[in-house]
Amino acid sequence: MEIDGRTRTCGLIGNPVEHTLSPVIHNTLAERFGHNLVYVPFPVETGRLADAVKGAAALRLLGLNVTVPYKSEVIPCLWEVDSLAAAIGAVNTLAAVPGGFKGYNTDMEGLYRAMMVENIQIADEEIILLGAGGASRAVAYLCAMRGAKRVYLMNRTLEKAQKVAEEVNRSVEREVIFPIALSGVDSLPDRRFLAIQGTSVGLAPHVEDVVIDDERFYAKVHTGFDLIYSPWETRFMKLVKENGGRAYNGLKMLLYQGIIAYELWNGVKVSEEDAGVVYEKLKEHFI
């Protein structure tokens, strides 16, 4: 593309951002749509987040994505926050509005779209969710809001799982999240579940790490979805497959959270054909 005086700018703020694949998503979509738009990463030093958001608004950036460690810290810097993002307590997408930026959480809707594409259902399902950190907390909200029948929230520290469960259950006004210690495999009903791996355990270079290493657990999983996408196949995924289940990594979640952000910024609908083109470009970094 040719950058000129009409080129609109979007980007990613976080620390670090050098590893990001988001430019692949947005710059490919801009090319597909013929939009005069460029997407670049912006590293933001500790203590400079408010300055960065204010500066981005002053420079009239069209939108920003937000990554670690700023997804919660950015909220007080915003003019407005979408209700889902406010409930989750995390924002990953900023869209320009008069006065500043409005914050959204496209991570969870990105996960939902990724699951729908793979014919993975949430509504009326019983689900196991591993971890009670920020990502798993957001997934717990997604499952509750999308009509999951029951979510067994398994975490090493039971008290932390209990806190998340109480918070989500109170928010959705029904008992849907049930905390269980990682050692409590035997307390799970005798059936097979969708299991979502929501921790950072297993990220490269620690590719042999896994949250739970109990074969009895994996015998209860018909489908495993790991939010991690590097490595391409985590040990969690391998164990699910070895016990007869289907397993997916988080690359399509990354894809669709970016697509939803692009749609917000540009007022367009990205087709599955275009999504497929972007996905193949993302895969080139792994396979």
Residues marked as catalytic: 71
Enumerate the β-bridge partners of residue 128: 152, 195
> Tokens 């391409």 map to which residue?
232
Burial state string for 150-183 with b = 16 or more CB within 10 A and e = fewer than 16: bbbbbbbebebbbebbebbbeebeeebbbbbebe
Cis status of the peptide bond prior to 231, with omega within 30 of 0: yes
Cis status of the peptide bond prior to 16, with omega within 30 of 0: yes
Dihedral, CA of residue 70, residue 232, residue 184 and residue 158, to nearest 10: -10
Quote the CA–CA distance of 114 and 119 in Å, as a whole number: 9
Is residue 28 within 8 A of residue 281, CB to CB? The reply is: yes
Is residue 88 within 8 A of residue 167, CB to CB? The reply is: no
Alpha helices for the chain (secondary structure H): 22-33, 49-58, 83-88, 106-117, 134-145, 158-172, 215-218, 235-242, 251-266, 272-283
Quote the CA–CA distance of 189 and 185 in Å, as a whole number: 9
